[in-house]
Structure 1
Amino acid sequence: MKYFLNFFLLLSVLSCSQKKQPILGDTDFQRKMNADFKDASKSPLKDKDRKGFTGLDFFKFDSSYVVQASFERTPDEVPFKMKTTTDRMPMYVKYGVATFELEGQEHQLNIYQSMDLMNEEGFEDYLFLPFLDTTNGESTYGGGRYLDCEPPTNGVIEIDFNTAYNPYCAYNEKYSCPIVPRENYLEVKVEAGVKAFQNH
């Protein structure tokens, strides 16, 4: 999983430190996120939040949120500066459009590619899918969530909303996070992936 690379654009070395408590989570994705959030070398949490951290809140895995979307490549798009929560303006390009059905409705989402990550070995094909939905500000983070995608195969791209995660600025305002473009708003509840963070 490469969610942290949207903010650091650096490869992180996985630590093999022993954990005194088992890592919580129903899926590999959930366990991986919880492990990273507990690890002081990777965690976006503030020290005070990490010390009492036992696990993120996730929706239960739901296979209906794993969709096979038809994909249309948009090769002639002009790169643009994506707004973030700070003055940073990273360069992205619209890679293509995914069309799929969810909750009985047809939806479309733009998929983007980071101009910086294109030049990172191993991430030339990394695709970024930020989205908003009607759970934002209620059960999920108000600023929307992100997904990582693999390149399409034969005109189809898999979107697994169970792996939707929050921008790092949902946990700590020191991070600079891409703001989800308004055209990637889904008029539907996406009750999958990571829920809003409740710090105590």
Structure 2
Amino acid sequence: MKLKIIIAIAFIAVIGITIYSLSGNQEESWEKWKSDREEFLRNSSSSPFNEADVEFEGVNYFDYNPDYEIKARLSPIRPQNPVKLTSTTGEDLTYFQSAMASFEIDGENFEVMLLTLTKQDPDEYHLLFTDETNGLSTYGGGRYLEIPYKEAGNIFINFNKAYYPYCAYVHDYSCPIPPKGNYINIPVKAGEKDAS
């Protein structure tokens, strides 16, 4: 099961990095990201829907909001600290706390932990977060984001690309639970949401 978690995260990360690398209009890249993700969830043999033989009924998103294209200050952590996250099925999963990201939304300041799957030469950061939409208009267990890896400086966080973990669709799937420190105490009305 742990291998499935890693493969699933890696696939979504490839989509995310490819789209992040595109220049030009961010909303256009978001549309492409949505299309690629839906294609994977609908048709891939690795999709949680196809593995569990569950009907795929599409994915819902908030309207694109450029206010959630966030520039964040990166504070690397060296050496990277191993972090144990509990999964939704009770497994312990090891990540590495590689950086903190500080940013502002609507005049409020936030700091979140960025995780990597490896200590050496990671391709991306993983942001697992919760916010005040959880259990209301979004999945109660939080949402995920991938961010291209940088050693230092500023990074770009586009919350419009926040997505649900697989356990939101198939309950017996094992997904890491976001760290308590990654609670954003405002409603982040961007990214994937529940059906209206």
Q: TM-score, normalised by structure 2?
A: 0.80
Report what 2:147 is aligned to: 149
Pairwise CA distance, 1:81 = 2.0
Report what 2:20 is aligned to: none
2:55 partner SS: helix
Pairwise CA distance, 1:47 = 2.6
CA RMSD between the two structures: 2.5
Q: Please, which of 28, 32, 36 is the counterpart of residue 32 of structure 2?
A: 28
C-alpha distance in structure 2 between counterparts of 1:40 and 1:100, whole Å: 35
Q: Please, which of 9, 19, 26 is the counterpart of residue 7 of structure 2?
A: 9
Q: Please, which of 114, 117, 120 is the counterpart of residue 114 of structure 1?
A: 117
Query: Which stretches of structure 1, 4 residues or longer, exceed 4 Å deviation after superposition?
Result: none
- 1:60 partner letter: D
| Structure 1: gaps (5+ residues) | 15-24
Report what 2:74 is aligned to: 71
- Identical aligned pairs, as a percentage? 33
C-alpha distance in structure 2 between counterparts of 1:90 and 1:180, whole Å: 11
Report what 2:85 is aligned to: 82
- 2:55 partner letter: D
Q: Per residue, is there more helix in 1 or in 2?
A: 2
1:99 maps onto 2:102 in alignment:
yes
Report what 2:175 is aligned to: 177
How many equivalent residue pairs? 175
Q: Please, which of 122, 128, 131 is the counterpart of residue 130 of structure 1?
A: 128
| Structure 2: gaps (5+ residues) | 15-28
Contact 2:76 2:152 in 1 (8 A): no
Contact 1:152 1:158 in 2 (8 A): no
C-alpha distance in structure 2 between counterparts of 1:197 and 1:7, whole Å: 25
C-alpha distance in structure 2 between counterparts of 1:95 and 1:176, whole Å: 23
1:47 partner SS: coil
Report what 2:192 is aligned to: 194
Q: TM-score, normalised by structure 1?
A: 0.78
- 1:144 partner letter: G
Report what 2:24 is aligned to: none
Q: Per residue, is there more strand in 1 or in 2?
A: 2
- 2:143 partner letter: R
